[in-house]
Amino acid sequence: MKLLVTGAEGQVAKCLQEAGAAVRGLNVVAVGRPRLDITAPASVLDAVSALRPDVIVNAAAYTAVDRAESEPGIAHLVNAAGAGNVARAAHQAGVPVIHISTDYVFDGSKTSAYSESDAVGPISVYGRSKLDGERLVEEAAVRHVILRTAWVYSPFGNNFVKTMLRLASQRPELGVVDDQYGSPTYAPHLAAAILDIAQQVSKAGDGGGAWGIYHACGAGETTWCGLAREVFQVSARLGGPHADVKPIATSDYPTAARRPANSRLSGEKLRAVFGVALPDWRDGVAACVERLVKGH
């Protein structure tokens, strides 16, 4: 099976390439700009035509959540129009598309984990652009799986876990938000789930009942403060950087974009339909911190 992945430099794409290399008979081809620019329809069509994938994973996104508040046009061009371009190309090629979305499509007011049937209501430009992208994917391609994920981190790129370790090497104490709840997601765990789903949908016809929206994130829940403390506990055991963590409120750490107070996502539908469940978020932290601290 050949998997075409957009957004070659992103965390999810990097992890898909790494995971795919370990699977016999699987060819993961990650392509980014300039060869594949999702904001340019002709570029997407040309890449799909040349590579002839069995499944397309759209992992390309504008993820600068705060900057999006002042760059709504660019965020929408990538996250909405770009997503639609990829889905149309997949539909024309007759292959399924797996599109990566976000917890930010919700307003965070629910007190328990969000299911796929809950009402959306993004409170940021980024969230609105991603929700528009979901809708364009649904319109453009019958054979689509939209995976909403949350709090993604990995050994690659810029993310919360890497930032915490870097700051801990500079300061003895850090203030971290303790009133936002979510399900941290280790990108290699997400990549494994995507590969599993891709293998299943590559065999499904247009009439398959599996098409639609799913939530895919680490099992369990915590706050940003709880995540930071877990990172430092693991790092300290390995002889890596660690710091004391002081819980603070969202109001103590103002940002340009509002964040959902509750980003918890239920993975029940994904488990029921595909038999796929991501490991506990602590397992991901342990694996990620070990790689970062030991440098492998």
Closest residue by Cα to residue 264 from 116, 103, 50, 142: 103
User: pLDDT tens per residue, the chain (296 residues)?
Assistant: 999 999 988 999 999 999 999 988 999 999 999 889 999 999 999 999 999 999 999 999 999 999 999 999 999 999 999 999 999 999 999 999 999 999 999 999 999 999 999 999 999 999 999 999 999 999 999 999 999 999 999 999 999 999 999 999 999 999 999 999 999 999 999 999 999 999 999 887 655 679 999 999 999 999 999 999 999 999 999 999 999 999 999 999 999 999 999 999 999 999 999 999 999 999 999 999 999 999 86
Q: Specify the pLDDT at position 77.
A: 98
Q: What is the pLDDT of residue 108?
A: 97
Residue owning tokens 């660690």: 242
Which residue shows structure tokens 């950087």? 241
Q: Kindly state the tokens that stand for 279.
A: 């490991």
* Pair 59, 114: CB distance under 8 Å: no
φ, ψ of residue 180 in degrees (nearest 5): -120, 130
Residue entry with tokens 């997503």: 83
Please give the Cα distance from 186 to 234 (Å, whole number).
15
Residue 135: in which H helix or E strand, if any?
helix 125-140
Q: How far apart are CA 44 and CA 42, in angstroms?
A: 5
Whole-model pTM: value is: 0.96
Instruction: Give the pLDDT of residue 203.
Output: 80
Question: Looking at the annotation, which residues are catalytic?
Answer: 126
Q: Whole-angstrom Cα distance, residue 191 to residue 13?
A: 8
**For residue 204, what pLDDT is reported?**
73
CA 242 to chain centre: 26
Contacts of 131 (CB under 8 A, 6+ apart): 101, 105, 120, 122
**pLDDT at position 34, please?**
86
